[in-house]
Amino acid sequence: MIKSVKILTNSLSVKFKDGTLENYPNIWLRDHAKDEKNWDRRSNQRKTNTASLDLDIKIKQVKLKNEGQNVEILWPDSISAVTYSSKYLFKHVLKNNNKQFKLSLWKKHQIKEDIFLSYQDIIKDIGFKIFLKKIYKFGFCVINNCETKLEAVEIIANKIGYVRQSIFGGLWEFESNQDMADSAYTQEELKPHTDATYSYDAPGLQLLLCCDYKAKGGESILVDGFKIAQTIKKKDKELFNLLSSIQVPGKYTGDGVILEAKRPIFKLDNNELIQVSFNNYDRTEFRLNELQTHRFYEAIKKFDNLVNKSEFQWRHILKPGQLLIFNNWRILHGRGSFFGKRKMAGCYINMEDFVSACRVNGIN
């Protein structure tokens, strides 16, 4: 709610009832006019030709409406006033962290039984929101009581977004098979990593359903990469800066493709960590000067030491009917070595579709 507004030379000063004070440049407000003349409500697209606006546009008149719920602005190039809601303006306070739900960065002991949900619950609307919120907060969850077939993976994927096509196809099934080119098909222990460091747009979510398990070992290993980043940032700022600045390339060669992409292990956007990207199996050649090379390998050693500490690793043997779903931009995953038969099915979902599902359900 808005307490008061004041017209300044080139901006509008808005004081909110919680004490927040913000200046909105006139040109920004004019560009974001969402009345019938300037905004297409059917397509949710701008009608205004921004380039033709007067950069020094002045506010002709401003009025507070509905006890501060809205503000009405009359612009010199319009006949009728344009309404801006206090909610809209507050959402766009420059330094506002409007994230409604905070992430819960975790170590192993902080993961409780409530990380397990049931298939029957998550296919209902209320349960589905809880399910999304769980993935959003913790970066993963496990769904019990799924049917042990590909269709169960597809149903869940389609509730969030859609199955992503990749070099592995869309939906996939696999058993341990020494002939396959990718390291995921061996029975050796797979150390924590993120998938597709060779892709410009790494998969957002990965779904892994256990269809059959007549084996020993093979536990899923999850590590909260954001917790690792937070821990490193607190203890060793130089190491954090290194891991967030050196562009590390990943490469996939096989199946008729050569995919390659690069990004830092900790990818930042405006100083905010947005992605953890680490796959020692897929890293390809790149050169740095001698000093930086040494620092890089030292950083890899420290990072790897941390992600392989048991306090950071949540381990769980997936049983038939259990589906693990995790955020591949945050959670490093691995798998313990095993003997016997283990059949899995799964797929990827794009990050933007997961984020969209969260927004649609009021989680962001």
Residues binding Fe ion (CB under 5 A): 195
Q: How far is CA 293 from CA 47, 198, 317, 347, in A?
A: 52, 21, 38, 36
CB of 277 to Fe ion, least distance (A): 12
CB of 334 to Fe ion, least distance (A): 8
265 three-state secondary structure:
coil
Q: Are 202 and 260 within 8 A, CB to CB?
A: no
CB of 80 to Fe ion, least distance (A): 57
CB of 193 to Fe ion, least distance (A): 6
Exposure string (b/e) for 342-362, b if CB count within 10 Å is 16 or more? bbbbbbbbbbebbeebbeebe
Nearer to Fe ion, 195 or 224 (CB): 195
Going across the sheet that includes 220-224, the strands are 190-193, 331-335, 220-224, 313-316
Residues 6 or more apart from 230 whose CB is under 8 A from it?
105
Residues 6 or more apart from 153 whose CB is under 8 A from it?
146, 171, 207, 209, 323, 345, 346, 347
Nearer to Fe ion, 183 or 356 (CB): 183
CB of 184 to Fe ion, least distance (A): 5
Nearer to Fe ion, 161 or 250 (CB): 250
Nearer to Fe ion, 75 or 278 (CB): 278
Which residue is at the shortest CB distance from Fe ion?
195
Phi-psi region of 321 (alpha: psi -120 to 50; beta: other; left: phi over 0): left
Nearer to Fe ion, 161 or 203 (CB): 203
CA 116 – CA 126 distance, rounded (Å): 16
CB of 49 to Fe ion, least distance (A): 47
Nearer to Fe ion, 119 or 329 (CB): 329
